[in-house]
């Protein structure tokens, strides 16, 4: 009898504990934190041909002949070789902005006697029936004739053509443009310019833009890539990086003032990723700054994201040259920061506000925050940061500053900076982690014990990195994305601590990348979001504005049985949103009990990403192979029965 009772008791407790283990509780009416509108954002850096050759839709490479090798990307075509027919000339009066141009000597040229061919960025992606605008800066003292312009494919078949007769002959520089259509789609077209006539003509800023740019802006951005960003509904956009802010040395640092104003006066420099990795050397990688700070602000406005520029703090990359400016000579750097605020927000009577207006945006961009330094570390950083902080806060007390905590999320450098920055009451501390999927899974509790008061965290660069047997776009697999989804439950749960987060890097050209994984991949015509992209999108489009507790017993749900969960409510739409990751290969069934919910809608939407293949990727051919699938679900009373497929990420959304 005693034995039977013991057995029954044991069975009861076993059943109870199994049930308890499968019961998650959401306290719908007990919000524990406010979620910042900026919570989920994007990180833009000009790496992997993200700007030139990427989102900046210019098709001509080295349009102003300023690459280290002035004719890189160009081929001079001559039927009969004439010495000096095409020469690169220096222009002393524009040494700081646009030092070189091309001088062409025509000797009764016709047909294919003399021409120039531009290869584009790994070819030019052109589309059937789309209009292309060819433009050029020219100077001639007497009429030389005309330029015959054509787009050709690899077989030299003409896809579209036109001609341009330079109208002015007063020995001054003039811009002229002409448009024509392509009669075919081709990912690897080239541009030919055939000269017809006689005499001497100077040429610069030879450009070809598609008309189907984002918002059809002339000289604008690639619409498919901006659309992918807009679809994320990002809370902020960080730009222009990344290490590009620091530069290999100070001469190569990003200087925003050199990226605004007329495009021909933006001084091109080498891109630091040109030479950074010998195994991914990219000798033709430069920064034309056609995408400059005005365009970044405009992009932010277009996609509804808060702009977050990061500025150089007077230190170059400490992994490279570690060059730094002495604190006694740091004023111009600090002035750049103050002037940027004026450029973004100042009245049109101010010097920099006036420039913004002249560039087409009299209204302020409403800049509220800025980063000082990227991945800089050590006492040298703190010393410089204090100077910036004082100058900026003295003038703009409400302005928020992002401060670097170095390159790694732990270790002596991190501990030192984290301590110093918290003593300084830093607004936002920028943490970076490029780590293994296992790290992401085991760090879902990272912020559970961070201080709730004082400095907030900006998870400014992160991505899950599978081992090096995965190369390029193959690194953006489901294993990486699922571990990010799991980790992000911890970011969301700790919205009291984490105000902003962004995956990094954002973009990569399939034929021009240096760093992988990346959120979005593309070639010259197509683009796709990786599984990580869709994970980001599920968070940012299911953001909510209050965190509510979701627990297993008394504990947060952060890896027990490989389950990770977070819950938020959206008080505006009156919905509860629960995110759950099953990071194991076994199906799991969980009862999610909604405590404190006065009422519940009869049905809700369930959005799921799932694959049993951890190597699963998306691709140009199959861009949405692994992407969210939407269905509906019905709760039973106040319980959602969550049937979690192996290796899945599910988002439950239901009206309250």
Q: Binding string to ligand AHR for residues 242 to 271, with x set by CB under 6 A, is what? A: xx----------------------------
E strand intervals along 436-526: 456-464, 498-503, 507-509, 520-522
Residue nearest to ligand AHR (CB): 242
Closer residue to ligand AHR, CB minimum distance, 374 or 545: 374
Smallest distance from the beta carbon of 260 to ligand AHR, in angstroms? Answer: 22
Residues 321-380 that bind ligand AHR (CB under 6 A): 374-375
Tokens 């312009």 found at: 149
DSSP codes joined into one string, 294-361: HHHHHHHHHTT-EEEEEE--SB--TTTT--B--GGG-HHHHHHHHHHHHHHHS-TTSHHHHHHHHTT-
Residues 496-515 that bind ligand AHR (CB under 6 A): 504-505, 515
C-alpha angle 284/375/509, rounded to 5°? 30
Residues 373-402 that bind ligand AHR (CB under 6 A): 374-375
Q: Which helix (H) or strand (E) holds 236?
A: strand 236-239
Closer residue to ligand AHR, CB minimum distance, 407 or 542: 407
Closer residue to ligand AHR, CB minimum distance, 48 or 298: 48
For the chain, the first-to-last Cα distance in angstroms comes to: 50
Catalytic residue among 375, 420, 484, 492: 375
Smallest distance from the beta carbon of 244 to ligand AHR, in angstroms? Answer: 6
Smallest distance from the beta carbon of 272 to ligand AHR, in angstroms? Answer: 9
DSSP codes joined into one string, 263-280: GGGS--EE-GGGTS-GGG
Asked if 313 interacts with ligand AHR (CB under 6 A), we say no
- Number of residues interacting with ligand AHR: please give it, by CB under 6 A: 13
Asked if 406 interacts with ligand AHR (CB under 6 A), we say no
One-letter-per-residue 3-state SS of 192-213:
EEEEEEEEEEEEEEEEEEECCE
Closer residue to ligand AHR, CB minimum distance, 25 or 530: 530
Smallest distance from the beta carbon of 604 to ligand AHR, in angstroms? Answer: 37
Q: Answer whether 375's CB lies under 8 Å from 431's CB.
A: no
Smallest distance from the beta carbon of 200 to ligand AHR, in angstroms? Answer: 44
Closer residue to ligand AHR, CB minimum distance, 220 or 242: 242
Smallest distance from the beta carbon of 381 to ligand AHR, in angstroms? Answer: 14
Q: Answer whether 515's CB lies under 8 Å from 19's CB.
A: no
Question: Nearest Cα to 59, choosing from 206, 158, 277, 266?
Answer: 206
Closer residue to ligand AHR, CB minimum distance, 7 or 277: 277
Please select the residue that binds ligand AHR; options are 35, 42, 47, 547, rule is CB under 6 A.
47
Residues 444-473 that bind ligand AHR (CB under 6 A): 461
Closer residue to ligand AHR, CB minimum distance, 66 or 430: 430
Q: Which helix (H) or strand (E) holds 651?
A: strand 648-655
The per-residue b/e assignment along 582-615, b for 16 or more CB within 10 angstroms, e otherwise, is bbeeeebebebbbeebeebeeebbbbbbbbeebe
Q: Binding string to ligand AHR for residues 202 to 241, with x set by CB under 6 A, is what? A: ---------------------------------------x
Whether 157 is catalytic is: no
Smallest distance from the beta carbon of 431 to ligand AHR, in angstroms? Answer: 12
Closer residue to ligand AHR, CB minimum distance, 47 or 567: 47
Question: Nearest Cα to 583, choosing from 609, 608, 563?
Answer: 563
Residue 104's SS3 state is strand
* Other CB atoms within 10 A of residue 57 CB: 24
d(CA 317, CA 569): 42
d(CA 242, CA 376): 11
Smallest distance from the beta carbon of 572 to ligand AHR, in angstroms? Answer: 34
Token representation of residue 158: 């003409």
Please select the residue that binds ligand AHR; options are 45, 196, 276, 431, rule is CB under 6 A.
45
Binding-site ranges for ligand AHR (CB under 6 A): 45, 47, 241-243, 374-375, 407, 432, 461, 504-505, 515
Write out the catalytic residue numbers.
Answer: 375
């Amino acid at each position: 009898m005693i034995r039977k009772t013991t057995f029954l008791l044991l069975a009861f407790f076993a059943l109870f504990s199994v049930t308890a283990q499968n019961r998650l509780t959401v306290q719908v009416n007990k919000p524990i934190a406010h979620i910042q509108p900026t919570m989920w954002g994007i990180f833009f850096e000009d790496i992997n041909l993200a700007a030139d050759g990427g989102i900046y839709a210019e098709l001509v490479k080295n349009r102003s002949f300023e690459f280290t090798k002035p004719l890189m990307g160009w081929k001079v075509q001559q039927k009969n070789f004439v010495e000096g027919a095409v020469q690169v000339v220096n222009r002393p009066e524009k040494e700081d902005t646009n030092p070189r141009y091309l001088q062409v000597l025509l000797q009764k040229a016709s047909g294919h006697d003399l021409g120039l061919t531009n290869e584009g960025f790994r070819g030019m992606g052109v589309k059937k029936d789309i209009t292309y605008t060819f433009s050029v800066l020219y100077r001639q003292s007497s009429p030389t004739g005309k330029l015959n312009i054509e787009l050709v494919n690899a077989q030299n078949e003409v896809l579209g053509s036109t001609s341009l007769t330079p109208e002015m002959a007063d020995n001054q520089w003039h811009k002229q443009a002409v448009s024509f259509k392509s009669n075919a789609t081709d990912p690897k077209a080239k541009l030919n310019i055939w000269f017809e006539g006689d005499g001497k003509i100077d040429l610069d800023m030879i450009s070809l833009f598609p008309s189907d740019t984002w918002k059809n802006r002339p000289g604008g951005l690639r619409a498919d890539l901006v659309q992918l960003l807009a679809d994320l509904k990002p809370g902020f956009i960080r730009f222009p990086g990344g290490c590009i802010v620091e530069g290999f040395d100070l001469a190569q640092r990003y200087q925003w003032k050199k990226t605004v104003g007329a495009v021909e006066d933006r001084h091109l420099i080498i891109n630091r990723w040109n030479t950074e990795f010998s195994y991914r050397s990219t000798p033709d990688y430069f920064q034309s700054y056609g995408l400059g700070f005005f365009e970044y602000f405009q992009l932010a406005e277009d996609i509804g994201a808060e702009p977050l520029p990061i500025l150089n703090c007077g230190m170059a990359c400490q992994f490279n040259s570690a060059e730094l400016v002495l604190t006694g000579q740091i004023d111009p750097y600090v002035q750049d920061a103050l002037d940027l605020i004026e450029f973004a927000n100042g009245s049109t009577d101010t010097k920099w506000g006036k420039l913004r207006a002249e560039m087409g945006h009299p209204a302020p961009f409403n800049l509220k925050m800025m980063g000082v330094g990227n991945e800089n570390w050590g006492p040298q950083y703190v010393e410089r940061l204090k100077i910036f902080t004082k100058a900026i806060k003295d003038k703009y007390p409400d302005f928020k500053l992002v401060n670097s905590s170095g390159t790694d999320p732990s270790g002596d450098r991190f501990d030192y900076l984290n301590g110093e920055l918290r003593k300084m009451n830093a607004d936002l501390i920028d943490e970076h982690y490029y780590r293994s999927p296992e790290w992401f899974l085991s760090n879902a509790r990272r912020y559970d014990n961070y201080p709730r008061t004082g400095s907030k965290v900006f998870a400014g660069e992160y991505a899950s990195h599978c081992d090096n047997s995965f190369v390029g776009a193959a690194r953006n697999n489901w294993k990486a994305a699922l571990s990010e989804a799991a980790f992000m439950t911890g970011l969301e749960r700790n919205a009291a601590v984490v105000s902003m987060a962004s995956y990094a890097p954002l973009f990569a050209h399939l034929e021009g990348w240096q760093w992988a994984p990346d959120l979005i991949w593309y070639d010259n015509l197509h683009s796709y979001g990786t599984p990580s992209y869709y994970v980001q999108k599920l968070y940012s489009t299911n953001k909510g504005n209050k965190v509510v507790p979701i627990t297993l017993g008394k504990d947060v749900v952060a890896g027990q049985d490989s389950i990770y969960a977070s819950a938020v409510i959206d008080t505006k739409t009156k919905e509860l949103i629960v995110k759950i990751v099953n990071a194991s290969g076994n199906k799991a069934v969980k009862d999610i009990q909604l405590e404190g919910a006065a009422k519940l809608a009869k049905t809700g939407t369930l959005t799921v990403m799932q694959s049993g293949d951890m190597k699963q990727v998306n691709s140009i051919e199959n861009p949405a192979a692994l992407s969210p699938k939407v269905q509906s679900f019905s709760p039973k009373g106040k319980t959602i029965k969550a049937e979690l497929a192996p290796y899945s990420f599910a988002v439950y959304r239901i009206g309250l």
